[in-house]
Amino acid sequence: MIPPALIQVYADKERDYAIICQFVDGKVTRYDMKNLLYGVFEPLKNKDVFKNTLTILDNTAAWDLAGKRDETNCLTIDPWTLYNAEDITGDMIH
């Protein structure tokens, strides 16, 4: 089964190293990355890299470190992990 399409992703302005994910079905989640910034994800410790290389690729959040939209050179998170992260849908309604 394919998760609902991710339509927007951006760095959380309130929490360092967290991302906000908005899905086509209306769900909004927050995924906290601060405990994952080692190994392959270590380049994301740089806050500018974390914020400025974040994009959507293959229906998930991806950090396009090379800037070439080449999925083989991106860091990604499983889309179901993002969809099942902290649900903040109600927090986004003003």
pTM of the model: 0.91
Q: What is the pLDDT of residue 1?
A: 83
Q: What digits encode the pLDDT tens for the residues 3-59?
A: 899 999 999 999 999 999 999 999 999 999 999 999 999 999 999 999 999 999 989
Any domain includes 1: no
Any domain includes 64: yes
- pLDDT at residue 94 is higher than 60: no
Q: What is the pLDDT of residue 2?
A: 85
Report the distance separating Cα 52 and Cα 72, nearest Å: 18
Domain holding 60, by residue range, is 6-91
The three-state secondary structure class of 1 is: coil
Backbone φ and ψ of 87, nearest 5°: -80, 115
Tokens 């109600």 sit at which residue? 90
- pLDDT at residue 93 is higher than 60: no
Q: What domain count does the chain have?
A: 1
